[in-house]
């Protein structure tokens, strides 16, 4: 399936394929499975729908990749508008937002990104909710953690993300496991060289468990982002071992991925949060999700040809 994966990743840059996906009814259904829609109203209705089955949400706005201060301002305003809509819909108890510092211009200007993130955190705080900062490429980890520290000085509930694929992450988990901290642990979605990241999936999984132990032993609120049934079973066991009651940690999954498992965990009394992407720039996100999992790719290609 590796050639298929490369093909899908290559297609993620193609405007022609994006148009084809937007206009093919079967493919539009695949988009709708992974992306909540393009506008704030779509995001709001996804939150209501997920809340109806006891799930919580973190919303990711898929906007232009930033660099220019104009687009940073637009991305910031999109989040503020979203937060206002959540408040108006009485949904801020159910939803927080996830932001990417690269979309706020961090690659070119860290201070600009910090300023934009601070505006979003202030708006979230005012609405009674909070923000989690997604983790991106390995060479942005230090910058992201610096910005996180600055934001936490004013808004201690701002969440961090750690990637178990990185060799440094166990130490980062130790540093972030303190009282009141919120840390999302994921495997990591970005390629990294072998001196920085574990190469084998089994090493990434073992690292995940070591980091989870560190977070569960600490005084913070761990957020376990994975669809992996084996990890979810181990995490449940480790949480019990550390005497963690439900509500003192949570599970997170992506919108459209293992929805039955999300509902099952929520029905068992676990806190389950769904990462819901929405926005005009849905195409790149969709292609990354498809490339991640060959079964999804085949499903998508079938939908594309069954016009
Ligand atoms: P993995 O992909 O290894 O799959 C393990 C098993 O899980 C599979 O064998 C299968 O059983 C099951 N599974 C996985 N995908 C499935 C699917 N589509 N359908 C059915 N079963 C499936 N990354 C990052 O670098 N920075 C970030 O900030 C975030 N944030 C984030 C938030 C949330 C809520 C989630 C769920 C994930 C992220 N990620 C992320 C992405 C993450 O790092 C990772 O790439 C994906 O979650 C896939 O990893 P899994 O843990 O699901 O395991």
- Whether 192 is in the pocket of ligand 1, judged by its Cβ within 6 Å, is no
pLDDT value for 289: 85
Cα of 245 from ligand 1 centre, angstroms: 24
Distance CA 99, CA 62 (A): 10
**57, 186, 190, 258: residue to mutate for ligand 1 pocket, most atoms within 8 A of CB:** 186
Domain that holds residue 65: 36-278
Closest CA to 110 of 75, 157, 159, 145: 145
> Do 78 and 223 belong to one domain?
yes
> In the chain, which stretches have pLDDT less than 70?
1-5, 65-69, 303-307
Model ipTM value: 0.98
| SS3 state at 63 | coil
Closest CA to 186 of 203, 202, 207, 171: 207
Count of domains observed in the chain: 2
Q: Residue 98 maps to which CATH number?
A: 3.20.20.220
Catalytic residues: 134, 184
For every residue of 89-115, DSSP letters joined together read TT-TTTEEEEE-GGGGTTTT-HHHHHH
pLDDT digits (tens, 9 = 90+) for 8-56: 777 777 777 777 777 777 778 888 999 999 999 999 999 999 999 999 9
> Do 136 and 180 belong to one domain?
yes
> Do 63 and 190 belong to one domain?
yes
- Whether 110 is in the pocket of ligand 1, judged by its Cβ within 6 Å, is no
CB atoms within 10 A of CB 152: 18
- Looking at the DSSP bridge assignments, the partners of residue 122 are none
pLDDT value for 67: 59
Asked if residues 113 and 147 have their Cβ atoms less than 8 Å apart, the reply is yes
Global pTM value: 0.94
Distance CA 2, CA 145 (A): 33
> Do 30 and 127 belong to one domain?
no
pLDDT value for 19: 79
Asked if residues 297 and 290 have their Cβ atoms less than 8 Å apart, the reply is yes
Q: Which atom of ligand 1 is nearest to the CA of 186?
A: 43
């Amino acid at each position: 399936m590796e050639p298929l994966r490369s093909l899908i990743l290559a297609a993620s840059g193609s405007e022609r394929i994006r148009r084809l996906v937007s206009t093919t009814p079967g493919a539009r259904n695949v988009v709708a499975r992974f992306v909540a829609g393009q506008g704030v109203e779509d995001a709001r209705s996804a939150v209501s729908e997920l809340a109806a089955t006891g799930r919580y949400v973190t919303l990711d706005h898929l906007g232009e990749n930033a660099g220019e201060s104009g687009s940073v301002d637009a991305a910031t305003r999109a989040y503020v508008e979203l937060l206002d809509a959540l408040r108006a819909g009485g949904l801020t108890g159910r939803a927080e937002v996830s932001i990417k510092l690269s979309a706020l211009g961090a690659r070119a200007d860290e201070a600009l990104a910090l300023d934009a993130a601070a505006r979003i955190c202030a708006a979230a705080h005012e609405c009674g909710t909070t923000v989690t900062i997604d983790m991106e490429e390995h060479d942005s980890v230090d910058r992201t953690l610096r910005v996180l520290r600055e934001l936490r000085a004013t808004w201690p509930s701002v969440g961090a993300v750690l990637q178990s694929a990185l060799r440094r992450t166990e130490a980062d988990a130790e540093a972030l496991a303190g009282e009141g901290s919120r840390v999302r642990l994921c495997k990591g979605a970005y390629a990294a060289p072998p001196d920085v990241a574990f190469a084998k999936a089994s090493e990434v999984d073992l690292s995940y468990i070591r980091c989870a132990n560190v977070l569960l032993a600490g005084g913070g609120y761990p957020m376990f982002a994975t669809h992996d049934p084996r990890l979810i079973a181990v995490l449940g066991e480790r949480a019990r071992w550390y005497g963690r009651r439900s509500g003192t940690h949570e599970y997170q999954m992506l919108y459209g991925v293992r929805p039955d498992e999300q509902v099952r965990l929520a029905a068992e009394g676990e806190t389950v949060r769904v990462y819901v992407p929405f926005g005009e720039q849905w195409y790149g996100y969709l292609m990354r999700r498809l490339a991640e999992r060959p079964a999804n790719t085949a499903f998508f290609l079938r939908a594309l040809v069954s016009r």
